[in-house]
Amino acid sequence: MTAKAAVDSLDFLCVGLNHETSPLEIRDALVMNDSEVARAIRELRSRAGAEEALILSTCNRTEVYARGASVTDLPLFVNDLLREIKGMDLGARGHRLYAYREPDSVRHLFRVASGLESQVLGEPQIAGQVKDAIGLAARSGGSGPVTERLLDAALRCAKRARTETGIGRGPVSSVYAGVSLATKVLGHLGDKRVLLVGSGEMAGLAMCHFMDSGALQFTVAARNPVRAKELGERAGARVVTLEALPVVLPGADIVICATRAPGYVLLEPAVRAAMKIRRNRPLLLLDLAVPRDVDPAAARLPNVFLHDLDALAAIVAQSLEQRRAEIPKVESIVEEEVSRFMRWHRSLELKPTVTAFRSQFERIAREELERHRGRFRPEDQPALEALAHGIVQKLLHRPTTRLNRSGEDGGTGLRRIDAVRELFDIEGEGEADEDRNPR
Amino acid sequence: MRFLIPLLTTLLPVLYALSVAAYARTYVREGSAGDRLGPICLRAAVLVHLIYLSARGVLEGHLPLASVYDFLSATGFSMAVVYLYVESREGIRTTGIFVLPLIFLIQIVSSAYGTGAPADPVPLRPVWFELHTLTAVLGYSAFAVSAIYGILFLLLYRDIKANRFSHFFRRMPPLEALAQMNVRAAGGGLALLTLAIVLGVGWIKRSGTGSLTDPKIWLTLAVWCIFAFSLLAYHRLGWRGPRAIYMSLVGFTTLLLSRVAVDLFFHSFHSFR
């Protein structure tokens, strides 16, 4: 396929599966590492004839984006490719891949980058994963002018979605809701002391979230000394036994309880005694355990804030509801960016570019002649016009020839057209490059 | 310059109303904490207010504090200054909506009922006296701002304790920040009131005007004691949370009641009539 044909139609397809179309076992089996992605891109280039290709493979989606593929049935090719690389035959399992052609494929990528297609609506990591995917495509020889431009546009779209709407606002997990509550009660967490009661998965997750939010001082109190030590090492935490809880409690500002104990681990008298020692400084108790670890009577003490999983779930539900309300705003940003991208792509058509390029030089020559007309005799005017025209023709001969060959030079040709449009400020249908590189 | 006074008297409530609207927008719209319109409107209002007070001061030859309406206007101005200081220090704009309507009301009453200039000429007053009134007004304003942050603290405290995560919860700064703003504003108010008392007593001693047995002085000292104890309890006795806030609110309520009592029931040499 020539670049001339490519610019007439973007020929950009997206084929894949995600958490809405496939169960976890299939998604898990299809997650590709970097070398598998590189191999898939090479196969797409060599066997499917794709001029550009990129693969987005995360735990929630595996998607193949390809431009200018010459195979007639790209979904079938991708199906075969996945079988070869990952040993998973989707066809045999009766599983179909979704496929989009532009502008839907472009729209889908922008929706993915903005978090609209994420399992947790508006989650921010996906934009970074899109960026990594294009970086990997570049290293594997899959990127080109269109995918590079797509990355710019997708990341700009994601950035706009996050800054202009509330799609990423508010906590969407119980543990993160706990962090946000801690920040609401105590302010900055940098100088706050966190006491983790328990050493299981939930306690580890809580430690990670609190570390990410700036907390530096941790103490782990747990029954299992080995696991407690392992957990403590992650944050350089002090490790104590559960029996030492009354001793370490007064020094903590945030207590996260996540044990599997059948009864209360923290009783009201212990909290009362701790509050006396800490001179009533606020104490946040996050009870992430089921059954609960903290005696509910502790919530009645002044300056003690006790919140269990139900309370945190209420915060999460509220955040998700707010995020859902922002979907129309994000969709309108996506549509704007899709239109902008498609305008840019149409501007790469060869013939209008050459015409605009030549007429710009000829216009400049005419304007200069007009400006200096008074300085020459009328009988010299035809000679001057011929001279100016001759200079323009000579100057433009080589660039025009090279430009006309762009149609046969694939991605290099597209880059050349794009460069000429940018260098000589040739605008097409309102195309503006003011924010070309949001990266 | 005289022509400016009626113009500015009308302009001030308009500017404060615009500020209220801008801060209301910041509060209502999620994620608009960085909205700059509110601070811009408020800074414009404060600048115009300063020009108004300065113009009055130049025309009258003393601080424009001759009537209760002048006092209200100066209080509104200094509350706005204190609020802007707290806002720029803490970087929190979502509480403006709880402070500015009060300033707007104060200013609209002052603009509507004040004459813009005293009816009778006032004899030249010494710098001591001018400083005394200035520090007193600034101190009262700081106490007012402190009280507003105290009330916000109590509302947020109640919501968090009861697991009520409303819009108010989302838009308020951290509880600790509200407590800090309450304590800092009260601390600033106490320092200014101390200075006002010292300057006032000094002025009485030097001029022989007035009397140290004046009820306003004793009530002011009572207010001073309450705030001093409240701050001492916070810093030294470990009074935190609602208990500390209630104490500072008692101080502010006493201040308000004492001003009303002095003006209505006592004959005081420096009450506004």
Verify whether the Cβ–Cβ distance B174 to A183 is below 8 Å: yes
Q: Please indicate if any CB of chain B lies within 8 Å of the CB of A280.
A: yes
The C-alpha of A97 sits at a distance from chain B's nearest C-alpha, in angstroms, of 38
In a shared domain, residues A66 and A204: no
- Which residue of A183, A303, A311 is in closest CB contact with B241? A303
In a shared domain, residues A162 and A179: no
Residue spans of chain A under pLDDT 50: 1-8, 429-439
- Residue A98 inside a domain? The answer is yes
| Number of domain units in chain A | 3
In a shared domain, residues A307 and A383: no
- Which residue of B30, B163, B177 is in closest CB contact with A307? B163
Number of C-alpha atoms within 13 angstroms, CB side, residue A255? 33
- Residue A432 inside a domain? The answer is no
Verify whether the Cβ–Cβ distance B31 to A187 is below 8 Å: no
**Average of per-residue pLDDT across B57-75:** 82
Provide the Cα torsion A395, A397, A403, A404; round to 10°.
Answer: 160
Q: At A241, which CATH number?
A: 3.40.50.720
For residue B127, what pLDDT is reported?
Answer: 75
Cβ neighbours of A186 in B, within 8 Å: 174-176
Mutation choice for A interface testing from B35, B94, B155, B163 by most A CBs within 10 A: B163
Of B105, B121, B137, the last residue of a domain is B121
Alpha helices in A348-409 (DSSP H): 350-371, 381-404
In a shared domain, residues A126 and A153: yes
Cβ neighbours of B174 in A, within 8 Å: 183-187
For residue B32, what pLDDT is reported?
Answer: 56
Flag whether pLDDT at B242 surpasses 50.
yes
Verify whether the Cβ–Cβ distance B163 to A187 is below 8 Å: no
In a shared domain, residues B196 and B98: no
Nearest to residue A189, comparing CAs of B174, B119, B216, B19?
B174
> Which two structure tokens, joined as six digits, stand for B84?
């802007």
- Residue A436 inside a domain? The answer is no
Q: Which of residues 198-257 of B touch A (CB under 8 A)?
A: 238-243
pLDDT by residue (tens digit) across B137-174? 899 999 999 999 999 999 999 999 999 998 899 899 99
**Whole-prediction pTM:** 0.73
The C-alpha of B171 sits at a distance from chain A's nearest C-alpha, in angstroms, of 10
Q: At A145, which CATH number?
A: 3.30.460.30
Provide the Cα torsion A369, A375, A379, A383; round to 10°.
Answer: -40
Say which residue, B41 or B237, is predicted with more confidence: B41
In a shared domain, residues A82 and A150: yes
Enclosing domain of residue A368: 348-423
Query: A42 near A53, Cβ under 8 Å?
Result: no
Of B121, B156, B174, the last residue of a domain is B121
Verify whether the Cβ–Cβ distance A185 to B176 is below 8 Å: yes
Q: Please indicate if any CB of chain B lies within 8 Å of the CB of A301.
A: no
- Residue A439 inside a domain? The answer is no
Mean pLDDT across chain B: 85
Enclosing domain of residue B23: 1-121
Of B73, B106, B121, the last residue of a domain is B121
Q: Please indicate if any CB of chain B lies within 8 Å of the CB of A167.
A: no
The C-alpha of B30 sits at a distance from chain A's nearest C-alpha, in angstroms, of 7
Q: Which of residues 29-48 of B touch A (CB under 8 A)?
A: 30-31
pLDDT by residue (tens digit) across B78-118? 999 989 988 888 788 899 999 999 999 999 998 888 765 55
Verify whether the Cβ–Cβ distance A280 to B240 is below 8 Å: yes
| Distance, CA of B199 to CA of B46 (rounded, Å) | 26
For residue B77, what pLDDT is reported?
Answer: 93
For residue B120, what pLDDT is reported?
Answer: 52
Nearest to residue A131, comparing CAs of A116, A153, A146?
A153
| Number of domain units in chain B | 2
Flag whether pLDDT at B265 surpasses 80.
no
Mutation choice for B interface testing from A169, A184, A277 by most B CBs within 10 A: A184
Q: Please indicate if any CB of chain A lies within 8 Å of the CB of B143.
A: no
Q: Please indicate if any CB of chain B lies within 8 Å of the CB of A185.
A: yes
Is position A59 annotated as part of the catalytic site?
yes
For residue A438, what pLDDT is reported?
Answer: 43
For residue A9, what pLDDT is reported?
Answer: 55
The C-alpha of B182 sits at a distance from chain A's nearest C-alpha, in angstroms, of 15
Paired sense of beta strands A238-241 and A217-222, if any: parallel
**Average of per-residue pLDDT across B49-63:** 85
State the ipTM, two decimals.
0.83
Verify whether the Cβ–Cβ distance B175 to A184 is below 8 Å: yes
For residue B1, what pLDDT is reported?
Answer: 67
In a shared domain, residues A162 and A30: yes
Verify whether the Cβ–Cβ distance B241 to A181 is below 8 Å: no
- Residue A430 inside a domain? The answer is no
* Residues facing residue A17 across a β-bridge: A62
The C-alpha of A300 sits at a distance from chain B's nearest C-alpha, in angstroms, of 9
In a shared domain, residues A232 and A352: no
In a shared domain, residues B135 and B259: yes
- Which residue of A186, A305, A314 is in closest CB contact with B165? A314
Cα angle: A282, vertex A287, A289; to 5 degrees: 165
Handedness of CA A163, A167, A170, A174 (dihedral sign): negative
Cβ neighbours of B160 in A, within 8 Å: 181, 184-185, 305
Query: A207 near A179, Cβ under 8 Å?
Result: no
For residue A435, what pLDDT is reported?
Answer: 42
In a shared domain, residues A36 and A67: yes
* Residues facing residue A62 across a β-bridge: A17, A57
- Which residue of A302, A307, A311 is in closest CB contact with B241? A302
Cα angle: B134, vertex B36, B49; to 5 degrees: 25
In a shared domain, residues A10 and A43: yes
Three-state SS for A174-231 is: HHHHHHHHHHHHHCCCCCCEEEEECCCHHHHHHHHHHHHCCCCEEEEEECCHHHHHHH
- Residue A125 inside a domain? The answer is yes
For residue A434, what pLDDT is reported?
Answer: 43
> Which two structure tokens, joined as six digits, stand for A329?
């705003």
Helix (H, G, I), strand (E, B) or coil at A56: strand
| Distance, CA of A45 to CA of A140 (rounded, Å) | 10
How many residue pairs from chains A and B have C-beta atoms closer than 8 A?
A: 53
| Distance, CA of B235 to CA of A307 (rounded, Å) | 28
Helix (H, G, I), strand (E, B) or coil at A4: helix
Cβ neighbours of A315 in B, within 8 Å: 165
In a shared domain, residues B131 and B50: no
Cα angle: B146, vertex B149, B154; to 5 degrees: 125
In a shared domain, residues B98 and B202: no
Please report how the helices B4-28 and B37-60 are oriented relative to each other, as an axis angle in degrees rounded to 10. 160
Of the residues A14, A59, A157, A208, only one is catalytic, namely A59
pLDDT by residue (tens digit) across B183-209? 989 999 999 999 999 988 888 887 777
- Residue A435 inside a domain? The answer is no
In a shared domain, residues A263 and A334: no
Query: B161 near B102, Cβ under 8 Å?
Result: no
| Residue-level length of chain A | 439
Say which residue, B126 or B8, is predicted with more confidence: B8
* Residues facing residue A15 across a β-bridge: A64, A99
Cβ neighbours of B241 in A, within 8 Å: 280, 282, 302-303
For residue B259, what pLDDT is reported?
Answer: 79
In a shared domain, residues B142 and B257: yes
